[in-house]
């Protein structure tokens, strides 16, 4: 009897283990029933309080999985196997995923609040008519400087970075499109040029910047600048906002010649399954009060102009992150380049880094 009981208990334990394992596997693939939304997002890129609020209002539980690059997100979705309902590609990646038939068109009849978005942030070249994407956050590439070393208002042009007074003073974000991009702009060229002569000239000009470059770094640039390790940096506005929150001597400027205007966007990947939850979430995020709360949490610029009006006055009036229309008109959005041209950009950028 004891042997029988022990065997029976062992069988029950095995069954329970299999059930638990199956449940965990189901969760890991995002398929936990119809009352869920599987969000594939950048890390720490939505206010957790909003997810709680959404769940309470709608009954949909949000499963969040994160990625650290557009390319990693693209590969995971292309491989399939995980039922992501919404993802957050950047501008050029929307264009690439659309071309590769990896996105589902938005059903505009199910969307509310689309008129909240500013015209400057809609109908961009990477998604004409916003057929596949809704702008989530936007920003720019620019120059961060420390007013303990650089006089406020004195650094307003890309070409000033080549001045001898900034020798070994500049940190650059490690990004081929952005670094070659500002060199191209400083020469009057497009950030999307496919002209090899222009690209080589931009790289050669970067080589002449090398004596001024203290380091080419990735995420740690935020820490270095916040701690005063360099007087000047070239980085994105979102990261500049984080630095400035830690060091009141830091300032951000978009050079007068123009710069890159980047977007992160909400889109529906081909793996999507829970469409009622998807449109409930998109409409929830379109609401001004929710978009404003999210913008305050993240610290990036919102394209939702109804939400913008709800932000604190000091945020609304900050031209570093909400520049005038004349500045917006000079900004360029990245286009998706062919694999061969992307490789050319990367090779030239690597040559510059090796030269440095």
Q: How long is the chain? A: 356
E strand or H helix at 86: strand 86-87
**Rounded Cα–Cα distance for residues 125 and 91 (Å):** 9
Q: Is 21 exposed, middle or buried (0-12, 13-18, 19+ CB in 10 A)?
A: exposed
Long-range contacts of the stretch 76-80 (C-beta < 8 A, 24+): 76/40, 77/40, 77/102, 77/269, 77/270, 77/271, 78/102, 80/271
The first and second tokens of residue 128, run together, are 């004409």
Helix (H) or strand (E) holding 219: none
Determine how β-strand 61-67 pairs with β-strand 133-146.
unpaired
Query: Can you tell me the distance from the alpha carbon of 57 to that of 142, in angstroms, rounded to the nearest whole number?
Result: 39
The answer on whether 92 is annotated among ligand-binding residues is yes
Query: Which residues have CB under 8 Å from 298's CB, separation 6+?
Result: 45, 46, 47, 137, 238
Buried b (16+ CB within 10 A) or exposed e, 154-174: ebeebebbbeeebeebbbbbb
CA dihedral 164, 165, 167, 171 (to 10 degrees): -120
Tell me the binding residues.
Answer: 92
Tell me the binding residues for spermidine.
Answer: 92
């Amino acid at each position: 009897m004891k042997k029988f009981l022990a065997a029976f208990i062992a069988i029950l334990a095995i069954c329970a283990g299999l059930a638990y394992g199956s449940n965990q596997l189901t969760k890991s693939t995002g398929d936990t029933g119809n009352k869920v939304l599987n969000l594939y997002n950048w890390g720490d890129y939505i206010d957790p309080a909003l997810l709680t609020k959404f769940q309470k209002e709608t009954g949909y539980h949000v499963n969040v999985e994160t990625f650290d690059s557009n390319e990693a997100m693209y590969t995971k979705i292309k491989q399939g196997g995980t039922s992501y309902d919404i993802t957050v590609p950047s501008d050029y990646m929307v264009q690439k995923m659309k071309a590769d038939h990896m996105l589902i068109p938005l059903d505009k009849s199910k969307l509310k609040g689309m008129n909240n978005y500013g015209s400057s942030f809609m109908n961009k070249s990477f998604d004409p008519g916003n057929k596949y994407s809704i702008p989530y956050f936007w920003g720019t590439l620019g120059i961060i400087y420390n007013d303990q070393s650089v006089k406020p208002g004195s650094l307003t042009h890309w070409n000033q970075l080549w001045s001898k007074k900034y020798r070994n003073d500049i940190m650059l974000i490690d990004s081929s499109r952005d670094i070659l991009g500002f060199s191209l702009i400083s020469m009057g060229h497009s950030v999307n040029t496919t002209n090899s002569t222009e690209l080589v000239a931009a790289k050669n000009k970067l080589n002449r910047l090398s004596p001024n470059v203290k380091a080419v770094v990735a995420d740690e640039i935020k820490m270095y600048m916040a701690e005063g390790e360099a007087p000047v940096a070239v980085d994105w506005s979102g990261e500049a906002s984080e630095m400035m929150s830690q060091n009141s001597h830091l300032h951000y400027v978009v050079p007068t010649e123009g710069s890159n205007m980047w977007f992160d966007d909400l889109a529906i990947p081909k793996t999507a399954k829970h469409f009622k939850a998807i449109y409930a979430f998109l409409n929830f995020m379109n609401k001004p009060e929710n978009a404003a709360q999210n913008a305050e949490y993240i610290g990036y610029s919102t394209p939702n102009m109804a939400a913008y009006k709800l932000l604190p006055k000091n945020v609304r009036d900050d031209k570093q992150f909400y520049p005038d229309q004349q500045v917006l008109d000079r900004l360029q959005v990245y286009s998706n380049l062919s694999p061969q041209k992307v490789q050319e950009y990367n090779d030239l950028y690597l040559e510059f880094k090796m030269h440095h």
